Structure 1
Amino acid sequence: MRQLKEQEMKSVIEKLMKYIGDNVRKLIERTDHHYSFRLHNDRVFYAREDVITAAITVPRKKIISVGTCIGKFTKTGKFKLLITALPVIADYAQYKVWLKPSSEQSFLYGNHVTKGGLGRITENTPAYAGVVVYSMGDVPLGFGVSARSTADCRRAQPITNVLLHQSDVGEYIRSESELLT
């Protein structure tokens, strides 16, 4: 487990900024404990420093995870945000979308969201901004990219895609079923 290199840290921060904007600073400079990002087996973890210090005593080959897995670096060197980052980014989300109960299941199956399934959307959400998706009961379901701005959503047809799916909490179940077949 090592600290991120400058280019790696830049990639992680850029991806997080897409979803939480300037709140990245709050994520890094927390007042309750000192947190940092660490890289282990191409995965980026967000953990408290005291937990990282304790993990140093364990051999690298025996460590599976430390803290919250934020994402991973692909073989081409790009950073991909994983669904395990949802609890972290949901707390600091800049733009939010709430789904009607009728479209929650469709989103959890990996589909985009149409205007007909949109319950609410944060005011002044620009097109192609990273958004966190919630149920009407304020339970985070996943994240995606807004296909249209808030103003465009009001004028759109009910079958128009307003949110492009990126990741959801049903992803784990889908990936596990693929491994079993």
Structure 2
Amino acid sequence: MLIGKTSSELRDFNSAQYLPTPSSRLLTMRSLTEEETRTLFTKLAHYTGKSLNALVTPDEDGRLSVFRLQGSRVYYVDKELANLSTSIPRDQLLSMGTQVGKFTKTGKFRLNLTCLDLIAAHARYKIYIKSNGVMPFLYGSNVLRAHLSKYSEDMPEHAGCVVVDENDVPLGFGVTSRSSQEAKKLEGTGVVVFRQADTGEYLREEDTLFTT
């Protein structure tokens, strides 16, 4: 369990057993610091809750994925691949694994659309939208009460949630504007979820999604 871990335990989790390289200048990815780890996990837990622990637990085959930092960007990658990446020169490694998001200049962490499948698999809360609400959402709009199909009953206000269609296909994620009980009382034009990211960005922001 990572939630509630001590500082030393977080450091142990993030320490990588890297393969030796001729020069430290070849290192392209590094482990997160204790502070960076805490910031990242706090953001992820906003969407996953205690399911966050599943992201850092070995799977049935014993394989473990880890979080690694390259520049300001954080990636979720198989540990064996992360170790191998140390032999690749910095200017030749563009990406590896799943890009989770990036740290801002002020030290905050911002999730990227590319982590949608990752958090959707462990989402604590889900918002299901009707077919007539899919396109507006994919064009960058918030989720309105009129487009709401169903949702998690125990959902609080300002909770991180994954937005899916009626077939449970992940479309994006956002933050609830109301609790599940209060959302029922909203008029059709009332905002239920403030959009944070949607899969329409793959087209709208294809030139900058992986570079900014």
TM-score normalized by structure 1?
A: 0.95
Quote the Cα distance in structure 1 between the aligned partners of 2:80 and 2:93: 16
Matched residue, 2:21: none
Match of 1:44 among 57, 64, 74: 74
Quote the Cα distance in structure 2 between the aligned partners of 1:82 and 1:51: 21
Quote the Cα distance in structure 1 between the aligned partners of 2:57 and 2:205: 34
- 1:135 and 2:165 equivalent? yes
Gaps of 5+ in 1: none
- 1:7 and 2:35 equivalent? yes
Matched residue, 1:159: 189
| Dislocated runs of 4+, deviation >4 Å | none
The structure with the greater share of residues assigned to strand is 1
Match of 2:49 among 11, 14, 21: 21
- 1:75 and 2:78 equivalent? no
- 1:55 and 2:85 equivalent? yes
Secondary structure at 2:195 match in 1: strand
- 1:66 and 2:96 equivalent? yes
- Would the alpha carbon gap of residues 176 and 67 (structure 1) be closer, same or farther in structure 2, given more than 3 Å must change? closer
TM-superposed deviation, 1:177: 6.7
Write out per-residue CA displacement over residues 39-62 of structure 1, whole angstroms, 9 at most, x where no aligned residue. 002100001111112212211221
Root mean square deviation of aligned Cα: 1.4
The structure with the greater share of residues assigned to helix is 1
Matched residue, 1:120: 150
- Would the alpha carbon gap of residues 19 and 56 (structure 1) be closer, same or farther in structure 2, given more than 3 Å must change? same
Gaps of 5+ in 2: 1-28
TM-superposed deviation, 1:13: 0.2
Quote the Cα distance in structure 2 between the aligned partners of 1:71 and 1:122: 26
- 1:146 and 2:176 equivalent? yes
Letter in 2 for 1:36: V
Letter in 2 for 1:139: V
Q: How many residues align?
A: 179
Letter in 2 for 1:107: F
TM-superposed deviation, 1:158: 1.2
Quote the Cα distance in structure 1 between the aligned partners of 2:55 and 2:188: 37
- Would the alpha carbon gap of residues 177 and 73 (structure 1) be closer, same or farther in structure 2, given more than 3 Å must change? closer
- 1:171 and 2:201 equivalent? yes
